[in-house]
């Protein structure tokens, strides 16, 4: 059994200067409803699949909020403790609980707007300027799936760190106004201020409240295109490279010509901040794909250990890594450096993060029918023949802008639900076989290795869809238990209410973090010319 740790002891550990990871394994909305500021979400259902990249060094101090401590110990983590009384005890001790997802990254946007007075424009002003044919461009800083879902008319996609990398080919003159937008506030503020910090000569503004405000104002959106802006021309790359140099000087970012040797006593994250396609085409062995914008806006989905050494791998121009590092530095992460990786050092092919623990690896290696894995063709044939097969979907809910595909007729549950009550499946399925499915099959194989008689669909829903078999969408899957019901897609009124609460949250969060004292955002003054 893992040892407990009191809120006071955890607070002291978080301020003693040593490496520590606070891992919150609660499922569903529990994390968003209140968590410790520096805690990272690693849901119990996918703990074995995610912990290896979030907390890569097994001797790191780990404090679990929720379940799963004993499973981490079984996976080789040697210093695992459980927060006594959970978040309720933390709050009762007088310490702050932060609400929301990716909270620190979002709070950084509020900090930046307060400290730097980032200029902004309303959707009404933008619409008027567009209708009048004024000289402006709209750059959309969201990842492509969001951009494809809904976009501002005329918007061009340049996610996160791609903004500075690609902007100079998009501005016909120094007078062209640049409007940076996202779905709401944070990413547009960060993107606009990044261009300002880099010394882009054009007038730059963020679009206040983004595509949400555009919809709420009754303006028509468009479906976005699928491609990024073109890679920069030589002249544009030279200009953005000079801007990146200014960024490194201002924010104190070191350039590593060579990677440091492994240090068994220190956690080092090696992140490739280029696009996923570039990463797939070739990357440094051991690096993890973390596109710059995503790394800044969802830092808690990548970095679990504080303080740790962070190295950002980039092309030799270092444009995207420099702008990403500048935001991580302002987020309060001190040990951040950039590394120019020549093409000759990159391996070919895409890698996925490997889960820790032999159990998962053994499940992955079991490819033969009857050994826990069923192929798409075999499952399709069984269903077509009317055999008694129950398909149980373990995928988590999708974000509102994503389409969640599932096999028609499947039930939905979480792996953690099955771990807590292994008898649920036998109660629900009186005859025939049970086939577990997940997005890519990895989570399903892990769960099948724990449930006697259960099979996993090799390749998951992705392989099913790739084979040309039909999928369903929506949130009307039948849940295995009442608590497994998927949340309905929010209507416009619900989204308005949620967005109003988010804006109010932004007004509170910086003051709350000041009281909390565990995270210190940093402001860097401009370097004199």
Residue 354: predicted pLDDT: 40
pLDDT tens-digit series, residues 98-130 = 998 899 999 999 899 988 999 999 999 999 999
Reported confidence tier of residue 529, pLDDT bands at 50, 70, 90: low
Residue 28 pLDDT more than 70?
A: yes
Q: Please, which contacts does 277-280 make with residues 24 or more away whose CB atoms are closer than 8 Å? A: 279/350, 280/349, 280/350
Give dist(CA 249, CA 257) in Å, integer. 17
Q: What contacts 25, CB < 8 A, 6 or more positions away?
A: 42, 43, 44, 47, 64, 65, 66, 67, 68
Higher pLDDT, 353 or 425: 425
Which range is least confidently modeled, 81-85, 236-240, 488-492? 488-492
Do residue 71 and residue 128 come from a single domain?
Answer: no
Give the CATH number for residue 479.
3.40.250.10
Residue 453: predicted pLDDT: 83
Please answer whether residues 276 and 298 qualify as being in contact, where contact means their C-beta atoms are separated by less than 8 angstroms.
no
Do residue 479 and residue 367 come from a single domain?
Answer: yes
Percent over 70 (pLDDT), the chain: 93
Please check whether residue 495 lies inside any domain of the structure. no
pLDDT tens-digit series, residues 434-477 = 899 999 999 999 999 888 888 999 999 999 999 999 998 877 78
Average pLDDT taken over every residue of the chain: 89
Q: Which of 321, 345, 369 is the last residue of a domain?
A: 345
Do residue 225 and residue 274 come from a single domain?
Answer: no
Please check whether residue 518 lies inside any domain of the structure. no
Residue 498: predicted pLDDT: 78
Do residue 80 and residue 112 come from a single domain?
Answer: no
Do residue 80 and residue 19 come from a single domain?
Answer: yes
DSSP, collapsed to helix, strand or coil, labels residue 524 as: coil
Do residue 321 and residue 199 come from a single domain?
Answer: no
Do residue 409 and residue 338 come from a single domain?
Answer: no
Sign of CA dihedral 187, 105, 317, 343: negative
Residue 225: predicted pLDDT: 74
Supply the range of the domain harboring residue 315.
Answer: 252-345
Question: What pTM, to 2 d.p., does this model score?
Answer: 0.90
Do residue 269 and residue 366 come from a single domain?
Answer: no
Q: How many domains, the chain?
A: 4
Please check whether residue 25 lies inside any domain of the structure. yes
Q: Which of 70, 101, 132 is the last residue of a domain?
A: 101
**SS3 letters for 310-364?**
EEEEECCCCHHHHHHHHHHHHCCCCCEEEEECCHHHCECCCCCCCCCCHHHHHHH
Residue 491: predicted pLDDT: 75
Give dist(CA 49, CA 357) in Å, integer. 9
Do residue 97 and residue 135 come from a single domain?
Answer: no
pLDDT tens-digit series, residues 281-293 = 999 999 999 998 8
Residue 357 pLDDT more than 60?
A: no
Residue 501 pLDDT more than 90?
A: no
Residue 400: predicted pLDDT: 63
Do residue 264 and residue 303 come from a single domain?
Answer: yes
Give dist(CA 263, CA 251) in Å, integer. 26
Phi, psi of 507 (to 5 degrees): -75, -20
Give dist(CA 346, CA 218) in Å, integer. 48
Residue 358: predicted pLDDT: 39
Do residue 143 and residue 260 come from a single domain?
Answer: no
pLDDT tens-digit series, residues 287-325 = 999 998 899 999 999 999 999 999 999 999 999 999 999
Strands of the sheet containing 3-5, edge to edge, are 3-5, 80-83, 61-65, 20-24, 40-41
Q: Which of 345, 371, 390 is the last residue of a domain?
A: 345
Residue 399: predicted pLDDT: 66
């Amino acid at each position: 059994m893992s040892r407990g740790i009191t809120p006071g002891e955890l607070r002291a550990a978080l301020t003693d200067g040593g490496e520590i990871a606070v891992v919150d394994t609660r499922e569903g909305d529990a994390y968003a409803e209140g968590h410790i500021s520096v805690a990272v979400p690693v849901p119990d259902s996918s703990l074995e699949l995610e912990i290896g990249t979030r907390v890569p060094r097994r001797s790191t101090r780990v404090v679990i909020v929720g379940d799963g401590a004993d499973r981490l110990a079984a996976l080789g983590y040697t210093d695992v403790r459980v927060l006594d009384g959970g978040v309720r005890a933390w709050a009762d001790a007088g310490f702050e609980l932060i609400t929301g997802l990716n909270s620190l990254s979002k709070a950084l946007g509020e900090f930046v707007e307060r400290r730097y007075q980032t200029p902004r424009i309303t959707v009404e002003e933008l619409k008027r300027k567009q209708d009048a044919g004024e000289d402006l461009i709209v750059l959309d800083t969201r990842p492509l799936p969001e951009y494809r879902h809904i976009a501002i008319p005329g918007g061009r996609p340049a996610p996160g760190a791609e903004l500075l990398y690609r902007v100079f080919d998009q501005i016909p003159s120094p007078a062209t106004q640049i409007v940076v937008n996202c779905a709401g506030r944070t990413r547009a503020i960060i993107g606009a201020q990044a261009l300002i910090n880099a010394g882009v000569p054009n007038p730059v503004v963020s679009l206040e409240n983004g595509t949400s405000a555009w919809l709420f104002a009754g303006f028509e959106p468009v479906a976005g295109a699928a491609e990024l802006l073109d890679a920069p021309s030589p002249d544009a790359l030279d200009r953005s490279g000079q801007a990146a140099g200014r960024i490194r000087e201002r924010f104190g970012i070191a350039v590593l010509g060579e990677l440091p040797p492994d240090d068994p006593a220190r956690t080092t994250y090696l992140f490739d901040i280029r696009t996923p396609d570039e990463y797939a085409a070739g990357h440094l062995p051991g690096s993890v794909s973390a596109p710059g914008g995503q790394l800044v806006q969802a830092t808690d989905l990548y970095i679990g250990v504080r303080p740790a050494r962070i190295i950002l791998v980039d092309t030799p121009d270092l444009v995207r890594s420099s702008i990403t590092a500048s935001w991580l530095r302002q987020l309060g992460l001190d040990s951040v450096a950039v590394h120019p990786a020549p093409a000759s050092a990159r391996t070919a092919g895409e890698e996925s993060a490997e889960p820790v623990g032999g159990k998962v690896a053994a499940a992955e290696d079991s490819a033969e029918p009857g050994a826990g894995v069923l192929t798409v063709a075999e499952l399709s044939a069984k269903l077509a023949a009317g055999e008694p097969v129950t398909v149980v979907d373990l995928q988590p809910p999708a974000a509102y802008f994503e389409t969640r595909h599932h096999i028609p007729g499947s039930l939905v549950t979480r792996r953690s639900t099955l771990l807590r009550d292994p008898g649920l499946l036998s109660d629900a399925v009186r005859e025939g076989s049970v086939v577990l499915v997940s997005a890519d099959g990895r989570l399903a194989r892990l769960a099948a290795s724990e449930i006697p008689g259960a099979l996993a669909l090799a390749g998951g829903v992705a392989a099913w869809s790739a084979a040309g078999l039909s999928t369903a969408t929506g949130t009307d899957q039948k849940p295995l238990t009442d608590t497994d019901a998927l949340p309905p897609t929010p209507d416009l009124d619900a989204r308005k209410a949620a967005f109003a609460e988010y804006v109010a949250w932004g007004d509170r969060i910086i003051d709350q973090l000041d009281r909390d004292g565990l995270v210190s955002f940093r402001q860097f003054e401009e370097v004199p010319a």
